[in-house]
Amino acid sequence: MTQKKKIGLMGFGKTGKAIASVIIESKEFSLEWVLRQKTTLEHRSVSEFLGFDTEDSGLIYSTSKITADDLLAKHPVDFIIDFSSSSGIYCYGKAAARHQVKIISAVSHYAQAELDLLAELSKTATVFWSPNITIGVNYLLIASKFLKKIAPFVDIEVIEEHFKQKEGISGTAMRIAEELDVKISDINSVRAGGIVGKHEVIFGFPHQTVRLIHESISREAFGNGVIFVASNLADKPHGLYNFEELLLPYFTD
C-alpha cells in the first residue's frame, strides 16, 4: 500500500474544521498539523477535538508561537492547504517554497500584492489558487462555457439562491456571469431562509432549455475539492495553477 500524502492546514474556522474532517477520513492523505493565528486549542489533537475515534492526525499550532519554517522542519508535509485569510500567505508562502511544499489556497479574495506573491512563489513552487474549491461549481463553469461555444446565440441567465442574511450577489455567480459574458442584471439572487447555496445556469434555446444546477449541502464539499486538487497536483511541476487547468484534461474522449 502507498503511503499517505501529508497535508498541513492553515486556518481552523468553520470551513477549516470541515476540511480537517474530510482529510482525516481520507485514505490518500493524512493531516499532519493545523496552523492558526489564535492560541486557543494549541497542542490539542485535531482528530480528538473533532470527535474522531482515531488518533490519526497531528496537533494544532499557533502562528504566534511557531514559524512555518520550524513547523515544516519538524513536521514535513507535501501540501499546505490554506483556508485562512488573504494575509495567511505571508506566514507560510516562502517557507513552503523553500521546503518544496505544494501550496493550495482556497482564500476567497486576494489583493494585487498577494497575487504578485503567488506568481513569485510559483517560479520555484507548485502553487494553486481557487476562490471556490468545490468540484461541482468548477465543473459547472467549464461545462457552461462549452455549451455557449456550441450555441453562441443561446440566451443565458443565472439564478443563485442563498440564506436570507447573505449580502450582495454571490462571488460564484459573479464569476459564472463573467466567464459566460452574462450581464450582472441577468443574475437573479434569491435570499430566503436557510438555503445553503444553489447556482443554476439556464440556457434558453428557441424550443428547448438546458439547466446546469449546483447545490451545496454542507461546507465539507470544499474538503472533497481539496482532495481532488491535491491528487491532481501531485505530479505537477512548479507553476501557478487554477481549477480549470486541472479539470480540462477530463473533457476529452
User: Contact residues for its own copies (CB under 8 A)?
Assistant: 134-136, 139-140, 143, 146-147, 149-151, 154-157, 159, 161, 163-164, 188-196, 202-221, 223-224, 228, 244, 247-248, 250-253
* Smallest separation, CB 205 to its own copies (Å): 5
Q: And the C-alpha cell for 231?
A: 491528487
* Smallest separation, CB 228 to its own copies (Å): 8
Q: Which is nearer to its own copies, 213 or 234 (CB)?
A: 213
Q: Which is nearer to its own copies, 52 or 228 (CB)?
A: 228
Q: Which is nearer to its own copies, 96 or 104 (CB)?
A: 104
Q: Which is nearer to its own copies, 36 or 219 (CB)?
A: 219
Beta-bridge partner residues of 62: 36
* Smallest separation, CB 62 to its own copies (Å): 22
* Smallest separation, CB 124 to its own copies (Å): 26
If DSSP codes are grouped into helix, strand and coil, which group holds residue 138? helix
Q: Which is nearer to its own copies, 100 or 218 (CB)?
A: 218
At a CB cut-off of 8 Å and minimum separation 6, what does 206 contact?
Answer: none
CA–CA distance, 126 with 224 (Å, rounded to integer)? 20
At a CB cut-off of 8 Å and minimum separation 6, what does 222 contact?
Answer: 15, 18, 19, 83, 106, 133, 134
Query: Roughly how many angstroms between the first and final C-alpha of the chain, as a whole number?
Result: 30
* Smallest separation, CB 99 to its own copies (Å): 30
At a CB cut-off of 8 Å and minimum separation 6, what does 242 contact?
Answer: 128, 129, 130
Beta-bridge partner residues of 79: 7, 102
* Smallest separation, CB 224 to its own copies (Å): 6
Q: Which is nearer to its own copies, 62 or 231 (CB)?
A: 231
Q: And the C-alpha cell for 96?
A: 513552503
